[in-house]
């Protein structure tokens, strides 16, 4: 029970990595507010997680929603100790065809939303005077470019720098800020790769461990970084990628 008594907010928790993190946090003794813009999906997450999980459907790219999310944690569970900025989107689009609307949407969900939700959450944590944890889900594409997804890669590079910047500024309040950068994980975001044998083979060739990761393997890293075991870790990005970035 590494997170006993802690209260966490997890965005994009309606499926995939976010749902696995919500489940792992509850399994480790935390109370969780699960968020997603998909109300049916996030209600299902809460049902799967049980009594320790409440849900709030909301689009995190709309800044007006942030206070509502933090308030839900405080009203339901009395505090907010951990924020997981997990919600993310991507568009497949060549740079030469890139459209402003896709820039605005991707930056809104992957970077601007997480930045201001971190601000709103950190204000609550500072007020509580008992430290806190902010965990950002970036991507290996914070460091290596992904073909035809330049906007996505740019936002994830921004998330990595956001992690360092906030870790630096919030250290004096005992708030640790870290990121996890997953490699190829079996979620809906990767459906096109997972269902195409040729593309899957090409991806597996790049992964030293020779398999796709599971959402639970990202959740395990999230539990570690949110727990006291990681008490001296801040400003770090943990690559959970089966070794893709080794070569």
Residues of this chain that interact with ligand NAI (CB under 6 A) are 11-12, 14-18, 35-38, 41, 59-61, 86-89, 109, 137, 139, 182, 184-185, 187-190
Active-site hit among 31, 61, 121, 139: 139
Nearest to 114 by CA among 149, 92, 139, 131: 139
Nearer to ligand NAI, 7 or 180 (CB): 180
- Residue number with CB closer to ligand NAI (35 or 178): 35
Q: State the minimum distance, in angstroms, from the CB of residue 174 to ligand NAI.
A: 26
CA distance 148 to 32: 35
Q: What is the DSSP string of the chain?
A: -TTTT-EEEETTTTSHHHHHHHHHHHHTT-EEEEEES-HHHHHHHHHHH-TTEEEEE--TTSGGGHHHHHHHHHHHHS---EEEE-------B-GGG--HHHHHHHHIIIIIHHHHHHHHHHHHHHHHTS-EEEEEE--GGGTS--TTBHHHHHHHHHHHHHHHHHHHHHGGGTEEEEEEEE-SBSSGGGHHHHT-HHHHHHHHHT-TT-S-B-HHHHHHHHHHHHSGGGTT--S-EEEESTTGGG-
**Residue 5 CB, nearest approach to ligand NAI (Å):** 26
Give 11 or 234: the residue with its C-beta nearer to ligand NAI. 11
Smallest gap, in angstroms, from Cβ of residue 125 to ligand NAI?
A: 21
**Minimum distance, C-beta of residue 184 to ligand NAI, in the bound complex (Å):** 5
Q: What is the closest distance, in whole angstroms, from the C-beta atom of residue 101 to ligand NAI in the complex?
A: 15
Nearer Cβ to ligand NAI, position 126 or 207?
207
Q: Is 156 a catalytic residue?
A: yes
Q: Which of 6, 156, 181, 239 is catalytic?
A: 156
Query: Is 10 within 8 Å of 22 (Cβ atoms)?
Result: yes
Q: Spot the catalytic one: 6, 54, 121, 152.
A: 152
Comparison of 5 and 160: residue with beta carbon closer to ligand NAI: 160
Residues labelled catalytic:
139, 152, 156
């Amino acid at each position: 029970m590494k997170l006993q008594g802690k209260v966490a907010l997890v965005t994009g928790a309606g499926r995939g990595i976010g749902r696995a993190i919500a489940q792992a946090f509850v399994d480790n003794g935390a109370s969780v507010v699960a968020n997603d813009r998909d109300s049916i999906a996030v209600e299902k997450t809460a049902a799967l997680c049980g009594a320790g999980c409440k849900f709030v459907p909301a689009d995190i790219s709309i800044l007006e929603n942030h206070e509502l999310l933090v308030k839900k944690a405080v009203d339901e569970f009395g505090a907010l100790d951990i924020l997981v900025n997990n919600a993310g989107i991507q568009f497949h689009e060549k740079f030469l065809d890139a459209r402003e609307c896709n820039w605005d949407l991707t930056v809104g969900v992957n970077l601007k939303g997480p930045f201001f939700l971190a601000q709103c959450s950190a204000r609550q944590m500072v007020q509580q005077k008992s430290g806190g944890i902010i965990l950002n889900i970036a991507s290996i594409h914070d460091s290596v470019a992904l073909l035809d997804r330049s906007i996505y890669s740019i936002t994830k590079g921004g998330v990595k720098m956001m992690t360092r910047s906030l870790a630096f500024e919030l250290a004096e309040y005992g708030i640790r800020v870290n990121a996890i950068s997953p490699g190829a994980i079996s979620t809906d975001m990767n459906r096109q790769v997972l269902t195409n044998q040729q593309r899957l083979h090409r991806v597996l060739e790049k992964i030293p461990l020779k398999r796709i990761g599971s959402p639970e393997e990202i959740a395990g890293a999230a539990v570690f970084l949110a727990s006291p075991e990681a008490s001296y870790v801040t400003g770090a990005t943990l690559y959970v990628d089966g070794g893709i970035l080794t070569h």
